[in-house]
Amino acid sequence: MECGEFLHQLPHSGTTDLNRALYDIGRVVNAPGLTVVISDFLVPQGYQTGIRAVRQLRQEVALLQILSPDELDPQIQGDWQLRDSENNQSVEVSASSNILQAYQERLARFTEDLAACAHSHMGTYTLIASDTDIVDVVQRLLRQVELVR
């Protein structure tokens, strides 16, 4: 089963306040351990405050950023209306090679910042395409947190 397929089967609705969700982990976690965060991390409120809150709970943090192949390498040209699947809002875009280049550069900075945040909190970070098999994702995670080789 692909990771994206698995995630689409989970209940979801609306937008996510990732900082709040991570902060709320403190309601159920009362001992050191491992917190795995699976998200695209593309949230307006950010994620840094939530990750700090999880670390204050003495949790190791593994960040798995899941992006679709179309988000990783969009193959569009011309005028499009794109709809956000979480908030159902649309935005008009005109895609050209220059715009796609700027998008790739911004995505690279975003993922580098997310990885730096994970590492600054003694955590791990992995970028995963949503069409990756879920077994591969779990194996990669276990290797990263050094539970298996």
Q: What is the pLDDT of residue 85?
A: 74
The whole-number pLDDT of residue 67 equals 95
Q: Of the candidates 46, 59, 43, 50, which has an alpha carbon nearest to the alpha carbon of residue 124?
A: 59
pLDDT at 38 over 60: yes
What is the model's pTM? 0.82
Q: What is the pLDDT of residues 46-94, one digit of tens each?
A: 999 999 999 999 999 999 999 999 999 998 899 988 887 777 889 898 8
Rounded to an integer, the average pLDDT of 89-101 is 90
Does position 16 have pLDDT exceeding 90, yes or no? Answer: no
User: What is the C-alpha to C-alpha distance for residues 104 and 5, in angstroms, rounded to an integer?
Assistant: 25
Q: What is the pLDDT of residues 106-146, one digit of tens each?
A: 999 999 999 999 999 999 899 999 888 878 777 777 776 66
**Among 50, 52, 30, 33, which Cα is nearest to 41's?**
50
> Is it the case that residue 1 has pLDDT exceeding 60?
no
**Residues whose CB is less than 8 angstroms from the CB of residue 112 and which lie 6 or more positions away in sequence, other chains included:** none
